[in-house]
Amino acid sequence: MEWNIATLEELKDILWRCTACGNCKAAYNYGPPPEFGEICPAGAEFGFEGFMASKGKIAFARGILDGQLEWTDELLDAIYKCTVCAGCQNQCELDHKPFIPEIIEAMRRKAVQDGIGPMPTQKKIAQSMRSYNNPYQGPRRVRTDWTRPFKKAKKPIKDINKEPADILYYVGCTGAFNLPARGVPVATASLFQKLGLDFGILGENEICCGSTAMRIGDAEEFKRVAQSNLETFRMLHEERGVKTIVTSCAGCYRAIKKDYILSSEYDKMMDGIQVVHTVDLLNTLFKEGKLKFTGELPMKVTYHDPCHTGRHLTKFVIDKEGSQLWKGAYVGLNDEDCLYDVPREILRAIPGIELVEMERIRDNSYCCGGGGGVMTGYGDWAAKNASKRIEEGMQTGAEHMVSICPFCHYNLNEGSRRISSEMKLYDLVELLDQVISETDKA
């Protein structure tokens, strides 16, 4: 299986299209009314231009490529402090726009290739991937611990290794191994059972999607697990009848939707299989009248857009043939894959819920601070950043924050704890599970 993962050298022409204008440094809606906000977590925290948005990372990339910058611990540290949230990409209007996260990750890939990256704490991730097929150093058997309540309640979850099912619920390592985030797969499976969906899990045979490895520059490890997963997905389609892969993890969603397509075999392997996020599936059922609310949640909440279900999935129209502009030029974009409206529509539909918005939302959402390997590499700072987002949520008057990513789930709750806030981050499925009862079965 061939992979089209660019090296930093291959991106050289593209990164020279940055003018260093600095448009990337702030989120700005032109209005009226005009709205301004900080957008770059590393830039806001560390301040120096090198840390700041795309402009800073492009400077590093140029310096590395033109031989002005040699690897040092400090340079490595600065490159790995980026959460790769794509906030800067969303502000940029130049032709390197579609490639900004790619350029940052290509620098990391070069660091790994040169034997210096990733950061020491992140090296444990790489080792864990090789030893355990997940970044949490979790033994295979632990991967199904979250299913115990279902077994106890005599509602076992179908093992797709043994039985066919329409839907593969691809749980993801964070939901399975990260204890505070385990509520996500539990609520997801509970909901699916209530809705009578024909779904199964890979259980102990599930392996990591590779997202974390890719984000920290370990392309080889990403390729290994991604290839294995693609082969598994093909097998599940052909032998178990799987037509839909559902993921409740934003990282898995992004990886399968956006990173896996870099494989030469993607179209062949994924033919007949659709990949959706849990909320997308639930929204479809809601629109079809198959998801009905019986309970009520009198709660004022605000919604946090994860980077990986939002702007990371923006599709860019690139005029490679030069028929519209010049070869390689960025022409436009669409956000049809970005889950901005769907979670909000579902939230608003829940009886009793009042949704109030933060200032920075949708494509201008402020990263929770946990992405790009930062949660592992710089745990304290990730939580500090998350506490800023929690404070922003508190300013809306909301009691709680809702999101659809187990990374945000963990990190924002850490951030809340850090500032002794009462605000708790719930995954949307955790709320839905409370207001949908067995009788709503489709």
Partner 1 sequence: MLAKREDMILDELVSIVGKDNATAAKHIRYAYSYDLSFVKPKLPDYVVMATTVEQIQSIFRLANRDKIPVVPYTAGSNIGGLCIPEHGGILLDLKRMNKIIRIDTESHYAVIEPGVSHAQLAMELYKHNLRWSWPVGPPSASVSSNALCHGIGGMSGRYGLNSEEITSMEVVLPTGELVRVGSCAIQEDSWHSVLPLPQLDGLFKGWLGTSGVVTKMGVRVHPIPPILKVFTVSTRSIEDMTSYMVNLGNYEICDDLTAVSWWLSQVPIPYPYKPKPDAAPEWYCFGATNSWTQKEKEAREEIWQNVLDEEKKKGTSIEYADYPEEALKARTQLPSRIVGSTKNYTKMAGGGISWPGTFTPANKWAPVYNKWKEILIEHNLSPSVRATNYRGVHYGMLRAMIPFNKQSAEETENARHAIVECLKVDLDAGGIPYKPPVDFAAEINKRAHPGYLSLLKQVKKLLDPNDIMNTGKLGF
Positions in the binding site for partner 1 (CB under 8 A): 13, 16-26, 28, 30-36, 46-50, 52, 55-56, 59-60, 63, 68-69, 72, 74-75, 78, 92-95, 325-329
Q: Select 56 or 373, whichever has its Cβ closest to partner 1.
A: 56
The four Cα atoms 220, 142, 434, 405 give a dihedral, to 10 degrees, of -20
Rounded to whole angstroms, the Cα distance separating 173 from 175 reads 6
Whose Cβ is closer to partner 1: residue 314's or residue 413's? 314
> 384 vs 424, which CB is nearer to partner 1?
384
Looking at beta carbons only, is 67 or 115 nearer to partner 1? 67
Sign of CA pseudo-dihedral 15, 259, 81, 124: negative
Q: Following DSSP, what letter does each residue of 310-340 receive, concatenated?
A: TGGG-EEEEETT-SSSSTTEEEEEE-TT--S
Q: Is 290 helix (H, G, I), strand (E, B) or coil?
A: coil
| Vertex 12: Cα angle to 223 and 265 (nearest 5) | 25
Is 61 or 281 the residue whose CB approaches partner 1 more closely?
Answer: 61
Closest approach, Cβ 370 to partner 1, in A, equals: 22
CA-to-CA distance for 178 and 208, rounded, in angstroms? 13
Say if residues 264 and 258 touch (Cβ distance below 8 Å). no
Nearer to partner 1, 60 or 146 (CB): 60
Minimum CB–partner distance for residue 96 and partner 1 (Å):
9
What are the DSSP E strand ranges found in 210-342?
244-247, 274-277, 299-303, 315-319, 329-334
Rounded Cα–Cα distance for residues 227 and 221 (Å):
10
In angstroms, the Cα distances linking 127 to 135, 138, 191, 287, 382 are: 8, 12, 35, 44, 22
**Least distance between partner 1 and beta carbon 6 (Å):** 17
Residue 306 CB, nearest approach to partner 1 (Å): 24
In whole angstroms, how close is the CB of 75 to partner 1 at the nearest point? 4
What's at 22, amino acid-wise? G
C-beta of 20 vs 142, nearer to partner 1:
20
Residue 101 Cβ vs partner 1, minimum distance, rounded to whole Å: 19
Comparison of 80 and 266: residue with beta carbon closer to partner 1? 80
For the CB of residue 78, give the shortest distance to partner 1 in the complex, in Å. Answer: 6
Determine the residue type at 202.
L
- Kindly state the smallest distance separating residue 119's Cβ from partner 1, in Å: 15
The C-alpha atoms of residue 82 and residue 50 are separated, in whole angstroms, by: 10
